[in-house]
Structure 1
């Protein structure tokens, strides 16, 4: 029966049905065939989304929308360009650096791709960068965002495993920065090899001015970590504080937020939140069926039957997640697979926080891989270039992402060092 469930799910995905509805339809058919009362559907879906911590999701999304409408995107890009724009391939490097700065605003890779891509991809093409390369840089650099606070995947993991979200936020910082550095190095090497243009070196005064322009946006990350780790407020309360902060900064500091736009931003936030929670609800139903069928035990026994060597077990988990990430949306994969794989990871000595970081980092790579890489599709559409051409340009970025992933997976202190400072 579990094979029927998974088979139906894969069939619906290949038929082009959205992930959330593929999960729901395959679960519904399974329940009808198995003769299980359909009342289990609302019960399991409600249990999956009935969490106080998940209230942080709409608040962080709204804060990001407010900051973006308040002029934050252009200020972060201006600051990044002032710092690295004079280097060969400066605009491409600015693209990566902007994603690093924008990470503390949205919490989702797709938001980064859409916000930065709409500005940077046309600018890069205008300056002579290849369309495929412009899309590739935008797509892959946006995957840095969910590694840094406020990270929606980290919030989901904290909810699933009752792990400190503050610890998860901190744990993703060093791996996220390493990933960004790797992308900067690859971008620079390609730019030098192809002779892409570089901008003029900005005067120190311009760099300082652009920094203060972006400061109030970047300061939001400090507020989140200071409040949560200092025990001043919960992650949900931190999200609400960020909404108020975004209103003040966008409306009275940057003075670019038109308060008449707020109702529209609220509607956009509701749409994003409802789609995420619907996905979480259906994924929880799908996961409940998998548990009732004993699939987690089968997977755990299957992996451990191959080897009990910690190095190989971690490698097998990573390979599994890389494949899953190619076909399944990140949040759905987390809700379904994190509870399944966590016991396997802890059995070989992985800390839950460390495993959470590794899982998010692995699934982030899938956002830029076909056939279901949402960041890949969005960036390619902005660049007006075929998916295949973007994927070809992504190959060296995939290579460096895998290297960073393996380093993070096998050196736990890269993830656990910062959280250990606040124990």
Structure 2
């Protein structure tokens, strides 16, 4: 939702609108330029670190630290760009219902809630900035304020842009009605504030479940729904300072491993720009195009392969979607079907090493990391087969996705042309296996490889598209990571309520033995995966639940696989799963459009998970 140039034409004499337009464009131009520079700088810094460590044997001790600082700036500037471009994910089922008759109220609501959240958080971000000024980084000796200033600038610019959107709309009758309704709700909550502490865990249902679902359904962007619900919970039901939303939100966005997200996004976009994705897809189509739903198998296999490279689900999807989706759409695949397959494929691959959740489980429960890495392959394969069977059934009789079987000569010629492109996954995997690069750094090697092949092999000359691709990468990164930040703050609020201790007391006394405990654990982790980002959920509950699993006779590796897969299903299940909205962002599909398609795939995953839970051999046979 941008300011219309026609509405702001200075010729009309509307100087105020013209000023708003210039301010909007100026903010956008500066943020886009800085974000593009940051992506290039991040790639150069991490690639230099790899070269210095592996080739020159002189590690750069400061490279990761500098990359982490710049990454938070990239995330916040990307969130600003996404807000300006209207690319923060939101559910629009009710917005578009009955011909959009509710839009006149819901669009103002979607604009007002960010103003409330960001305007409230801005002074707390300044407070957080001041608190971090005296803390120094170990390698560079810089003040942490260089990092936290990104939160101040990002929140401030988003607050300004949100206010510009309201000024552009004007305060018509519907907007004033929404403002009045919000003010009335705030007054009621303030009056009832003394009663909330006595409600205990019911506050979680009121604020962190009820308010989130209400905001999401009403079309408030997902990240801001999480943020404003956390804000209300902490303000009215606790005595926790609101600055914790900023600090925890920053913590959720600044993990260095998440830097692989924008790097894999730009890698996928470069594959498409240089033509390497096209030749790979042409080969895959030549091999599998005559099979109904054949490219669905390619998508499953690609996620299965990439999961062992990056370890991050968001990065996995970012590496695959831009390369495969354009061609799959040309072959007749519906966008919502692609997003459903992408999300559930990512959920399927949660136990494929070196998955971050496997590393988390091993670190908090002392389960052998080697056993977890070995035990995770077959359960993931079972879920992969379930998705493949469902894809086959859904495309049965659908000839739109089928191409004629090509002659062997065409397949051989396509193979030769695609060979340099096909080598990319093996280059990336070899870099990880041989210890050349970490999961965060490995995408930079892929980027360098794609640039060289694009220039020398595929003779790509259209590099004018690079700047728009960098801006698109920044916007998508910001939209994704701002959701992670607000979800992390909300998850922290839930864990600090003491809910975990209550759940453990209930679950430890359940009758029915190991299978009952497994089924309860599946339901629990699906719910936790939906309302919490996966790793915080496992960090909180794994140390408490694994001893119970041992007492009731469940093998710890088997229980780890069941818990991780259940959490993954919840993470990618609508309406609250963060991964689901990430997949929608990757596929550029409205969440409500894909929601109608994803449920059969979720059902297939749950059925396969029950099979894995019922047959421990699937998790332990390779140990």
Per the normalisation by structure 1, the TM-score is 0.74
Do the aligned partners of residues 269 and 415 (structure 1) sit closer, same or farther apart at CA in structure 2, a change above 3 Å counting? farther
Q: Which residue number corresponds to residue 314 of structure 1?
A: 518
User: Larger relative CO (CA 8 A, sep 6+): 1 or 2?
Assistant: 1
Deviations 1:340-375 (A, max 9, x none): 332355332434963675146424662699999548
User: Cα RMSD over matched residues?
Assistant: 4.5
* Shift of residue 297, structure 1, vs aligned partner: 2.2
The count of aligned residue pairs is 401
CA contact (8 A) 1:314 1:345 kept: no
Distance 1:217 1:39 in 2: 48
Stretch moving more, 285-294 or 55-64: 55-64
Counterpart Cα distance in 2 of 1:47 and 1:370? 19
Provide Cα deviations, 1:254-310, integer angstroms capped at 9, x if missing partner.
334732222222222222222232222222211221222112222333333335833
CA contact (8 A) 2:344 2:602 kept: no
Name which of 211, 218, 234 aligns with 1:31.
Answer: 234
Q: 2:472 aligns with which of 261, 265, 268?
A: 268
Match of 2:118 in 1: none
| Aligned match of 1:56 | 260
SS of the equivalent of 1:366 reads coil
Alignment of 1:3-402 (within 5 A): 3-6=205-208, 7-33=210-236, 34-87=238-291, 89=292, 92-101=293-302, 107-109=315-317, 112=320, 116-124=324-332, 135-136=336-337, 139-140=340-341, 143-145=344-346, 154-155=355-356, 158=359, 174-189=378-393, 191-192=395-396, 198-256=402-460, 258-307=462-511, 309-322=513-526, 333-347=533-547, 348=549, 349-351=555-557, 354=561, 357-359=564-566, 361-363=568-570, 366=573, 374=581, 390=597, 395=600, 397-402=601-606
Q: Which has the larger radius of gyration?
A: 2
Residues 107/208 of structure 1: CA separation in 2 closer, same or farther (3 Å cut): farther
Q: Deviations over 1:325-354 (max 9, x none)?
A: 6x66xxx53255333332355332434963
- Pick which of 215-224 and 260-269 moved more: 215-224
3-state SS of the aligned residue for 1:244?
helix
More displaced stretch, 223-232 vs 175-184: 175-184
1:79–1:210 contact (8 Å) kept in structure 2: yes
Q: Where do 5+ consecutive residues of structure 2 fail to align?
A: 1-202, 307-313, 550-554
In the alignment, the residues of structure 2 paired with residue 153 and residue 26 of structure 1 have an alpha-carbon distance, to the nearest angstrom, of: 34
Aligned partners of 2:440, 2:233: CA distance in 1, in Å? 35
CA distance in 2, matches of 1:261, 1:17: 32
Query: Are the counterparts in 2 of residues 353 and 416 from structure 1 also a CA contact under 8 Å?
Result: no
The CA deviation at 1:217 is 4.1
